[in-house]
């Protein structure tokens, strides 16, 4: 991925360090943040001091490192509140399993956890722990609790690979350069002034007043992309099928049920958009007749025949709008075999600028899961993202689009030709 060139000159970043072997990477993180122009204040938990000394971080940040909640001098001015007011964003790296659990339950038994309760702004957590600890259902529940309770929390990583204990798997802290790039992308309004239309969730095609044809889509990926686009400064219209998710704050919501309804809304709103992103899992077929009353079982037949007709191909229709076509059209392909082959064919056949492919046959990823792994195909590049939380993948997707198309420096609606780049 292209390294962002934007600086962090206007950012006051509080770097929280918790106990873990990855704490040695925090020194490089502080150095890189300052190199990008940020002002940095370090807060360490008592456990972090067992892995790296406050003096090291003080030398790099140019500020005295804060370590104690009960510091008499600092608390003369309500130091923990002042830290929360001072920071424009907080990054905890490494974020241990213990700290994530305490944060998820609202504990405030050290300086860093107290600041987190008092801080109102973007929070980035870079988990670092043994792969078994990260995969433990309690840790996953705690991470999800934070995402559900606080829209301003972003989980960065973790990476997968060999760990200090000898295990291999997810749990390695992201490299400092990657963390800085993610924070930089978040703080830069990459989609400022851009209009983005997103479809999400499944459709439901009625058979009768009781039954319908649908699929396993939860809408989580599309909703995460909507939230990421909003955070990047875009004006977002989210066209959603039936899901059990809260609406992203700030998005214009259009709720639909059937593929026909979604197609009508997509065609109406996409002609005013810079980017159209089709994440919805639209039913390919619908019953040609919707029965007005519930169909009854009969004792004479164990078979029900349904005649199905094809639904409109929404993303292909949007891509074929001609002069009203959004400058960029992005499709999604959920495949159970030969995912990249079918995705590449779909991108060309439907005249899409980009397609995002995920293999739904991989256990624990895709439909219904909080995690995903995707492959992005454009006319000249192939990029993999994940496996990671869908919220993290969504932010990386938005950053990739902005960097690939340089959205922050051009008005896409002035260049509205069909592209395969």
pLDDT digits (tens, 9 = 90+) for 280-308: 999 999 999 999 999 888 766 677 788 99
- CA distances to 36, 102, 253, 278, 412 from 199, in Å: 36, 36, 10, 5, 20
Task: Decide if pLDDT at 6 tops 60.
Answer: no
Q: 312 labelled as ligand-binding?
A: yes
Give dist(CA 246, CA 287) in Å, integer: 30
Task: Decide if pLDDT at 244 tops 80.
Answer: yes
| Residue 419 included in any domain | no
The residue from 187, 206, 229 where one domain ends is 187
Q: 350 labelled as ligand-binding?
A: yes
Pair 150, 245 in one domain: no
CB-CB contact of 286 with 308 (8 Å): yes
CB-CB contact of 277 with 197 (8 Å): yes
Pick from 27, 54, 15, 51: nearest CA to 164? 51
Give dist(CA 13, CA 4) in Å, integer: 18
Mean of all residue pLDDT scores within the chain = 86
Q: Please tell me whether residue 49 adopts helix, strand or coil conformation.
A: helix
Q: How buried is residue 101: exposed, middle or buried, by Cβ count under 10 Å (0-12/13-18/19+)?
A: middle
**Between residues 71 and 101, the one the model is more confident about:** 101
H runs (alpha helix) in 36-168: 54-61, 72-75, 79-86, 97-104, 111-118, 131-135, 137-149
> Which CATH number do you get for residue 241?
3.40.50.10300
Check the CA dihedral 257-263-266-267 and report its sign.
negative
The residue from 139, 154, 187 where one domain ends is 187
Give dist(CA 239, CA 219) in Å, integer: 11
Q: 315 labelled as ligand-binding?
A: yes
Active site residue 165: yes
- Most confidently predicted of 160-169, 278-287, 332-341, 402-411: 278-287
> Which CATH number do you get for residue 128?
3.40.50.1950
Pair 259, 164 in one domain: no
Q: 314 labelled as ligand-binding?
A: yes
Token pair recorded at residue 235: 């004006």
Q: 332 labelled as ligand-binding?
A: yes
Pair 329, 406 in one domain: yes
The residue from 168, 187, 206 where one domain ends is 187
Q: Please tell me whether residue 393 adopts helix, strand or coil conformation.
A: helix
Average pLDDT of the residues in 190-213: 93
Count of domains observed in the chain: 2
pLDDT band for position 190 (50/70/90)? confident
| Residue 2 included in any domain | no
Pair 212, 146 in one domain: no
- What's the predicted TM-score (pTM) here? 0.63
Task: Decide if pLDDT at 366 tops 70.
Answer: no
- Domain span at residue 362? 195-414
The pair phi, psi for residue 237, each rounded to 5°, is -110, 120
Q: How far is Cα of residue 101 from the mean position of the Cα atoms in its chain? A: 21
Cα three-residue angle 131-106-387, rounded to 5 degrees: 30
| Strands 212-213 and 382-389, sheet pairing | unpaired
Q: 353 labelled as ligand-binding?
A: no
Identified catalytic residue from 117, 164, 165, 304: 165
Pair 325, 404 in one domain: yes
Average pLDDT of the residues in 189-209: 92
Q: 398 labelled as ligand-binding?
A: no
């Amino acid at each position: 991925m292209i390294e962002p060139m934007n600086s962090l000159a206007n950012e006051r970043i509080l770097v929280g360090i918790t106990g873990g072997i990855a704490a040695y990477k925090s020194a490089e993180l502080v150095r890189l943040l300052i190199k990008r122009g940020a002002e940095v204040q370090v807060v360490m938990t008592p456990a972090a001091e067992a892995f790296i000394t406050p003096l090291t971080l003080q030398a790099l940040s140019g500020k005295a490192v804060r370590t104690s909640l009960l510091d008499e001098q600092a608390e003369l001015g309500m130091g923990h509140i002042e830290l929360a007011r001072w920071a424009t964003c907080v990054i905890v790296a490494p974020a241990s399993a213990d700290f994530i659990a305490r944060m998820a339950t609202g504990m405030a038994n050290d300086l860093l956890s107290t600041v987190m309760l008092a801080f109102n702004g973007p929070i980035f957590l870079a988990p670092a722990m043994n792969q078994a600890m990260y995969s433990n259902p309690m840790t996953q529940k705690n991470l999800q609790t934070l995402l559900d309770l606080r829209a301003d929390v972003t989980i960065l990583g973790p990476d997968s690979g060999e760990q200090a204990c000898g295990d291999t798997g997810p749990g390695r802290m992201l490299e400092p350069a990657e963390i800085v790039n993610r924070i930089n992308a978040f703080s830069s309004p990459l989609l400022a002034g851009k209009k983005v239309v997103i479809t999400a969730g499944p459709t439901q095609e009625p058979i009768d007043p009781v039954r319908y044809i649908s699929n396993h889509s939860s809408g989580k990926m599309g909703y995460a992309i909507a939230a990421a686009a909003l955070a990047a400064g875009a004006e977002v219209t989210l066209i959603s099928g039936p899901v059990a998710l809260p609406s992203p704050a700030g998005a214009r919501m259009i709720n639909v049920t059937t593929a026909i309804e979604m197609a009508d809304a997509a065609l109406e709103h996409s002609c005013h958009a810079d980017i159209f992103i089709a994440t919805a899992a639209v039913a390919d077929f619908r019953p040609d007749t919707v029965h007005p009353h519930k169909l009854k079982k009969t004792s004479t037949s164990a078979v029900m025949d349904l005649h199905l007709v094809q639904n409109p191909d929404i993303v292909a229709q949007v891509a074929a709008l001609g002069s009203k076509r959004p400058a960029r059209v992005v499709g999604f392909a959920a495949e159970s075999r030969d995912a990249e082959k079918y995705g590449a064919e779909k991108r060309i056949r439907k005249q899409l600028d980009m397609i995002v492919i995920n293999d739904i046959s991989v256990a624990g990823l895709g439909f219904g899961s909080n995690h995903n792994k995707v492959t992005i195909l454009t006319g000249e590049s192939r990029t993999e993202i994940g496996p990671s939380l869908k919220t993290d993948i969504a932010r990386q997707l938005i950053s990739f689009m902005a960097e690939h198309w340089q959205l922050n420096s051009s008005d896409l609606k002035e260049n509205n030709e069909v592209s395969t780049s």
